[in-house]
Chain A
Amino acid sequence: MEDPGSPSDIIRRMGSIAPLTKADATQLHQLLAGVRAAADRMTELAPVFPDEIDPALLSLTVDGDSNVAEGELS
Chain B
Amino acid sequence: MTGSPDAQTSLHYLPLSEQAKRIRFGELSAVALTRAYLGRIRAHNPTLNSFITVDENGAVDQARQVDDAIARGEEVGPLAGILIAVKDSIPTKGLKTTDNSNLLADWIPEHDAAVISRLRQAGAIIIGKANLNEFGWSRPSEADLAPPPWNPWNPRHASVGSSSGSGAAASGGLSSAAIGTDGGGSIRLPGGAHGLIGFKPTHGLVSRHGMDHNSHSEISPLTRTVEDAAMMLDAMAGYVPEDDMSWLGEPVGYSQRLTDADISGWRIGVPWQFICSAPNEPEVEEAFERFLDKLESLGCELVDTPVRGLAEARMANFLVLNAEAYQRHAKSVGQNWDKYGEITRVYLLQGAYLSADDLLNAGEVGRAVRHQLETEVFGETGVRALAMPTSPFVTAERSRRPGEHSRGINACFTAPFNITGHPSVSVPAGFSESTGLPIGAMLTSALHDDLGLLQLAYAHEQATDWHLQHPDLEA
Residues in chain A within 8 A of chain B (CB atoms): 1-2, 4, 14, 16-20, 24, 27-28, 30-32, 34-39, 41-43, 45-46, 52-53, 55-56, 58-65, 68, 73-74
Residues A24 and B346 in contact, CB atoms below 8 Å apart: yes
Could you tell me which residues of chain B, from 353 to 372, have a CB within 8 Å of some CB in chain A?
353-355, 357-358, 361-362, 364-365, 368-369, 372
With a CB–CB cut-off of 8 A, which chain B residues contact A18?
Answer: 333-334, 337, 345, 349
Q: Is B306 a contact partner of A73 (Cβ separation < 8 A)?
A: yes
Complex: chain B residue closest to A42, CB-CB: B361
Among candidates A45, A52, A60, A64, residue contacting B306 with C-beta atoms closer than 8 Å = A60
B353: chain A residues at CB < 8 Å are 1-2, 4, 32, 35-36
Q: Quick check: A27 and B368 within 8 Å, CB to CB?
A: no
**Which residue among B312, B316, B369 has the maximum number of chain A CB atoms within 10 Å of its CB?**
B312
Residue B162 is within 8 A (CB to CB) of chain A in the complex:
no
B319 within 8 A of A: yes
Asked whether B330 is an interface residue with its Cβ less than 8 Å from the other chain, the reply is yes
* Known contacts A31-B346, A39-B358, A73-B273; A55/B372 CB under 8 A: yes
User: Which of A14, A42, A73 is B365 in contact with, Cβ under 8 Å?
Assistant: A42
Task: Indicate whether A45 sits within 8 Å of B365 (C-beta atoms), given known contacts A60-B273, A60-B306.
Answer: yes
Contact B412 A62 (CB under 8 A): yes
Which of chain B's residues have a CB closer than 8 A to the CB of A17? 330, 333-334, 349, 352
Closest to B358 in A: A39
Q: Which 5 A-B pairs have the closest CB atoms?
A: A58-B309, A38-B315, A61-B277, A42-B361, A64-B311
Whole-angstrom CA separation of A15 from B343 in the bound complex? 18
B272 contacts the other chain (CB 8 A): yes
A41–B315 touching, CB < 8 Å? yes
Tell me the smallest distance from the CB of A60 to a CB of chain B, in Å: 5
Is B442 at the interface (CB under 8 A from chain A)? no
Are A65 and B312 touching (Cβ within 8 A)?
A: no
Q: Give Cα A43–Cα B348 distance, bound, in whole angstroms.
A: 22
Complex contact B319–A38 (CB within 8 A): yes
Asked whether A53 lies within 8 Å of B311 as measured between CB atoms, the reply is no
**Beta-carbon nearest neighbor of A72 in chain B:** B273
Q: How far is the CA of A17 from the CA of B127 in the complex (A)?
A: 39
Collect the chain A residues with CB atoms within 8 Å of residue B349's CB: 14, 17-18, 20, 28
A-B contacts counted at CB < 8 A amount to: 134
Asked if A42 contacts B354 (CB within 8 A), the reply is no
B309 CB contacts on chain A under 8 angstroms: 55, 58-59
> Which residues does chain A contribute within 8 Å of B347, judged by CB atoms?
31
* B135 on interface, CB distance cutoff 8 Å: no
| Across-interface contacts of A53 in B (CB, < 8 A) | 364-365, 368
Residues of chain A within 8 A (CB-CB) of B310 are 59, 62
* Chain B residues within 8 Å of chain A by Cβ, number: 51
In whole angstroms, what is the CA distance A31 to B138 when docked? Answer: 11
Residues of A within 8 A of B352 (CB): 14, 17
Given contacts A38-B315, A58-B309, A28 and B350 within 8 Å (CB-CB)? yes
| Chain A nearest Cβ from B409, distance in angstroms | 7
**Contacting residues, chain A, for B272 (C-beta < 8 A):** 74
Q: How far is the CA of A43 from the CA of B309 in the complex (A)?
A: 14
**How far is it, in angstroms, between the C-alpha of A59 and the C-alpha of B337 when the chains are bound?**
39
The residue that A62 contacts in the complex, of B362, B372, B409, with Cβ under 8 A, is: B409
Is residue B278 within 8 Å, beta carbon to beta carbon, of the partner chain? yes
Residues of A within 8 Å of B350, CB to CB, are 28, 31-32, 35
Q: Are B315 and A42 in contact (CB under 8 A)?
A: yes
Contact of A2 among B278, B304, B355, B409 (CB under 8 A): B355
Flag whether B458 is at the interface (Cβ < 8 A): no
C-alpha gap A74/B312 in the complex (Å): 21
By beta carbon, the residue of chain A nearest B402 is A30
Q: Does B406 contact A (CB under 8 A)?
A: yes
Query: Would you give the shortest CB distance from B469 to chain A, in whole angstroms?
Result: 30
Please state if A42 and B358 are interface contacts (CB–CB under 8 Å).
Answer: yes
Does B319 lie within 8 Å of A39, measured CB to CB? yes
Contact: B311 with A59, CB < 8 Å? yes
Contact of B308 with A45 in the complex, beta carbons under 8 Å:
no
Q: A52: shortest Cβ distance to chain B, in Å?
A: 7
Tell yes or no: B239 within 8 A of A by CB.
no
Q: B407 interface residue, CB < 8 Å from A? A: yes
- The reply to whether A42 and B372 contact each other, CB–CB distance below 8 Å, is no
